[in-house]
Amino acid sequence: MKKLADLINATDVGELLEYIHAMVALVERDGSLVSWNRAFETYKSNYPYASNLQNCFSSKERDRITNRLDLNQPDPFVVEIDDGSEGKSVFYDCVILPLANGHSLFIGEHISSNASMQEIIQRLNRRIRMFQVESEHAKKIARNKQTEVDGIMVQAHELSNTDVLTFLPNRRMIVKTLQDEVARAERYSAPLSISVVDVDHFKRVNDTHGHMAGDEVLRHVAFQLRDHIRHPDVVGRYGGEEFLILLPNTASEEAAEQAARLCRYVRESQVNVDQHSLNLTVSIGVAQYQPGVDTWDSLLNRADNAMYEAKNNGRDQWYVAK
């Protein structure tokens, strides 16, 4: 069978790019926009004066885009975009592919919510509405149902804040917890450190063994992190193959010791995928909160940059932000 790429000419590719739902943009090495498809044009209408890829995203995502351009490697990552409706956000699975001619190709595809999770939440919401209508007709029924409504609402809250793949706190929940911890550290002058953990060569796993194997790898790493952090610490899935660990009342020296242990635990463990045993490694960036200097997102950016330093230094290691 001939490869599909051998049967499609440049004109066909251009037509194809115009009709796919994913956003595609051709950019210079520094992010300057060269050309883009219809899906990206629709999104770019929110940033009509943007001349480079970075300025087509919110300020908290621009450093991430810049880092990926500088890294010049096709590692997937996730960005958060405000969809403009009541402060809700959507997430895009993105990759920047370096091309032989010196350009790069940005591809962003909307991440759909897990269908089964959405169905559960919708069913719970329907039950809540049903109980609330009943409570309006009879106070006695309302008192009996209220306990059940409260329990269902707790379940719905937990589901909406849990990553359906790893069962860790999802991005929204771990970021909210980070914001609370930064406020507490500022108020009480308490130390606070965070670690950004990224699975090394995750794209290679997906390309070689498939996305189901990739999911199993993410679950395995999530369990390793969850089982080898201290009780006060919190770990959540930040997006894609990245995890975020919060270490309250902890200086960077102690956080670095934990990062070294986590690198070792992941390195020494194996995950069985499709009758193969895979050895995994992670790169970890550590940053300590600087009172009066850092905000929660600047702290996160410093840890993220430190993680890239660990990757640039050879992966399977940790690096502490200065």
pLDDT in tens, 268-283: 998 987 778 899 999 9
- Average pLDDT value for residue range 225-252: 95
Q: Per residue in 50-76, pLDDT tens?
A: 999 999 988 888 888 888 888 887 878
Helices (H), 49-114: 59-71
Give residue 110's pLDDT.
80
**pTM, two decimal places:** 0.56
- Beta carbons within 8 Å of 263's beta carbon, 6+ residues apart: 281, 282, 284, 316, 317, 318
Contact between 242 and 291 under an 8 Å Cβ cutoff? The reply is: no
Among residues of the chain, what percentage have pLDDT more than 90? Answer: 48
Q: Per residue in 85-129, pLDDT tens?
A: 555 667 788 889 898 888 999 998 887 655 544 555 556 666 767
Give residue 309's pLDDT.
97
Q: How many helices (H) and strands (E) in the chain? A: 11, 12
- Average pLDDT value for residue range 169-178: 94
Contact between 55 and 45 under an 8 Å Cβ cutoff? The reply is: no
Q: What is the mean pLDDT of the chain?
A: 85
Dihedral of the alpha carbons of 166, 168, 171, 177, in degrees to the nearest 10: -170
Neighbours of 322 (CB within 10 A): 9
Cα separation of 107 and 16, whole Å? 14
Give residue 2's pLDDT.
57
Going by C-alpha positions, the residue among 228, 237, 288, 231 that lies closest to residue 258 is 228
Indicate the residue type of 147: T
- Cα dihedral 126, 130, 136, 140 sign: negative
Going by C-alpha positions, the residue among 318, 281, 315, 321 that lies closest to residue 301 is 321
- Cα dihedral 119, 125, 129, 135 sign: positive
- Cα dihedral 154, 160, 165, 170 sign: negative
Q: Which of 54-58, 81-85, 130-134 has the lowest mean pLDDT?
A: 81-85
- Average pLDDT value for residue range 293-321: 96
Q: Which of 17-21, 214-218, 305-309 has the lowest mean pLDDT?
A: 17-21
Token pair belonging to 93: 């699975």
Neighbours of 103 (CB within 10 A): 15
Cα separation of 171 and 218, whole Å? 15
Active site members: 241
Q: Per residue in 192-214, pLDDT tens?
A: 999 999 999 999 999 988 989 99
- Beta carbons within 8 Å of 107's beta carbon, 6+ residues apart: 22, 23, 24, 94, 95, 96, 97
- Average pLDDT value for residue range 136-149: 64
Token pair belonging to 291: 């009172």
Examine the pLDDT at 42 and tell me if it is beyond 80.
yes
